Amino acid sequence: MAAALAVLAAGCGTQRSGEGATSAPTTAATPGTATGVPCPDESPTPTPSPLTPDAPPTDHYAENHGFMVPIPLHGRSRCEGLAAVERIEAALEPLRRRGDFAPEHTRSALGGLGYAVGKVQAYQNGPTGVGFLVDASPLCLEGTMSRDATRADAFGGYPDHSGCDRPAGGH
């Protein structure tokens, strides 16, 4: 009986997926971080995750800023995120090689992948770079393109916020 109560108590204060808001993770798992079953064309060996401190911060910084930590993707959503990131990087690479960092061209290239133009944001990121954010609900896709590289990432939104843009204020 005591063992059953201990198991039940361990689940208290958490939400199961699909019940709305989730608790804020301390580190975001990117689609490239192996979690769970590997996606097609991915090595089954997990990628080491960043080290997390053993003790919680005493100033509650992580707790107070958890609303800005993206929700990591898992399972099929993670695989879909990896595939979307690959398509985006491939679509933007010709622009990068030409040195075309115009936000409107980035928006157009992402729209060419089938993303609704109203759900694609692109903005100048320094003199030779562009940043982008795509709301492909339930996926959020963001990244940058510069002379050096095109990088994209996928995540599942934010804990206390609807939409893919980073929230400005917490709860």
Q: Is residue 8 part of a domain?
A: no
User: Would you say residue 119 lies in a domain?
Assistant: yes
- Token pair listed for 152: 């994209």
E-strand stretches of 22-163: 120-124, 129-136, 139-146, 150-155
In a domain, 145, yes or no: yes
Residue 63, H or E segment: helix 61-64
Q: Is residue 109 part of a domain?
A: yes
Of 119 and 12, the structure prediction assigns the larger pLDDT to 119
Report CA 155 to chain centroid distance, whole Å: 2
For residue 20, give the amino acid letter. Answer: G
Query: Domain residues for 81?
Result: 65-157
Q: Specify if 127 maps to a domain.
A: yes
Whether residue 151 is contained in a domain is answered as yes
Residue 92, in any domain of the structure: yes
pLDDT tens, 54-80?
555 566 766 666 667 888 999 999 999
**110 CB burial (10 A radius; 0-12, 13-18, 19+):** buried
Extract the tokens encoding 123. Answer: 């903005």
Residues 6+ apart with CB under 8 A from 120: 107, 110, 111, 132, 133, 134, 135
Q: How many domains does the chain have?
A: 1
**pLDDT at position 11:** 38
Please report, as a single letter, which amino acid is at residue 99. G
* Position 3 in a domain: no
Q: Above 80 in pLDDT, residue 136?
A: yes
Q: What is the pLDDT of residue 58?
A: 62
Cα of 113 vs its chain's centroid, Å? 19
What pLDDT does residue 160 have? 80
The predicted pLDDT at position 45 comes to 54
